[in-house]
Amino acid sequence: MVGAAGLDGSLLAGVVIGEDSVEDEVELGSIPLLETPPGEQPPPSPRLLGYGGGYGGYGSGSSGYGTGYPPYGGGELVMMAGGTHIGVESLIQAAVILVIGVAIIISNIIILATFITMPGPKDVIMYYLMSLGVSDLVAGVVVVPLSVYPALVQRWVYGDAVCGLAGYLETTVWFAQLCTFMWISVDRYLAIRKPLRYETVQTKTRCQCWVVFTWITSMMLCCPPLLGFNSSSHWDAEAYVCWLDWGSMIAYAFTLIPMVLGPTLITLFYTYGYIFNTMRRLKTCVVGQDKEFITALTSNLANPDHAMSFVLVLAFWLSWGPCVGVRTYEYLTGHHIDVRFLHFAVFWLGALNSCWKSIIYIAMSPKFRRGLKLFCLSLCCQRKARNAELILDY
């Protein structure tokens, strides 16, 4: 019947082609299929599939490689375990976050251990640098690990309470670092502005009080979004982090940001402008200045901590500037920038700021290099460390 005009003896609707007898024909639908009881489906066994053909399946335009799973486009390697789709991009992003987290933890443990084990009296600026190390370590231990598994499975799995806590800690650490940079710039300014009275004005007790004040203030200023009636945080599925929901308290947010950023940025510009201007003037003219003042000023200007602290501030803004710029633009315009991996890249570039500090210390601080050498020797041999402590001049 059907197809007999084109093919002699062929049955297009059956399974027999050629001169076979009609008795051998098997009608479609006559073969019983295995049926699964209603409501019961065996769990899919873990399997690793090959590359999709760009349409969700290898050689298929609709389904994924005949597995019964929904298509996973993009030509990515897909791993299915318990129904979860994991692509190559997810694996790479999760691996990047994991590497950043491990680097933050290791580098800041080394920084804190080096500062703590340094023999002799501690400089005032060292307490501020230790505060920076603590904030980076908190981010590396608490905030970053919470993004690894969600990046792998492409969803937040820890609940709203943990998301709110992660967003709160993330914001608190950011504000604490920003204020700490301001106090560092003030400390460097006083070392140049009042070189003869610097040790009297900047005492260690006063410095420690400023550090405690900074942390308490940052924690209190970031609390109100957690007290909102709506959800206090939201999950960013592109950067794989939780943000505090400042939109629920928009008036408070518009008050807090200028109150923190304004004095901080003004202080940074003024203090470092004064420091570099003084360096320039000292090289050109010192007429009319007291000899003792000039000697103390020259000694303080020779301290590499001035340039190192400025590079720390510069690295902070170069790292976080793109993220702040993107989020500010999206909020003010109401337009979401739909660029692949943009939000992931700008946020985790900012997180890398927690790793740059160790490199800056090693490159620009001779005192930190000596302390690091002593710390490494103390890990290898206590006796060598004691001998090295006597040799190193602090």
Output the DSSP codes for 64-79. STTSSSPP--SS-EEE
Q: Is the pLDDT of residue 82 over 90?
A: no
Residue 1, pLDDT above cutoff 50: no
φ, ψ of residue 45 in degrees (nearest 5): -75, 145
Q: What is the span of the domain harbouring residue 369?
A: 88-385
- Asked whether residue 24 is domain-assigned, the answer is no
pLDDT, mean of residues 182-206: 89
Token duo for residue 126: 């060292």
Burial of 322 (0-12, 13-18, 19+ CB in 10 A): middle
pLDDT at position 54: 36
Q: What is the rounded CA–CA span in Å between residue 257 and residue 241?
A: 21
Q: pLDDT for 47-60, tens place per residue? A: 333 333 333 333 33
Could you tell me if residue 204 is inside a domain? Answer: yes
One-letter-per-residue 3-state SS of 5-35: CCCCCECCCCCCECCCCHHHCCCCCCCCCCC
259-306 pLDDT tens trace: 888 999 999 999 999 988 888 887 766 545 666 677 777 777 778 889
146 assigned to some structural domain: yes
In a domain, 29, yes or no: no
Q: What are phi and psi of 350, to 5 degrees?
A: -65, -40
Is 59 inside a domain boundary?
no
Domain count across the chain = 1
**Residue 78 belongs to some domain of the structure:** no
Task: With respect to residue 325, please indicate whether it lies within any of the assigned structural domains.
Answer: yes
Least confident of 102-106, 206-210, 224-228: 224-228
Cα torsion at 31, 33, 38, 44 (round to 10°)? -160
What CATH number did the domain enclosing 324 receive? 1.20.1070.10
Question: With the C-alpha atoms ordered 66, 72, 74, 77, is the resulting torsion angle positive or negative?
Answer: negative
Q: What is the pLDDT of residue 250?
A: 80
CA 190 to CA 180: how far, in whole Å? 15
- In this structure, is residue 99 part of a structural domain? yes
Query: Tens of pLDDT along 68-81?
Result: 333 343 444 555 44
Average pLDDT over residues 206-225: 90
Asked whether 164 and 226 are in contact (CB, 8 A), the reply is yes
> What is the C-alpha separation between 367 and 159, in angstroms, rounded?
45
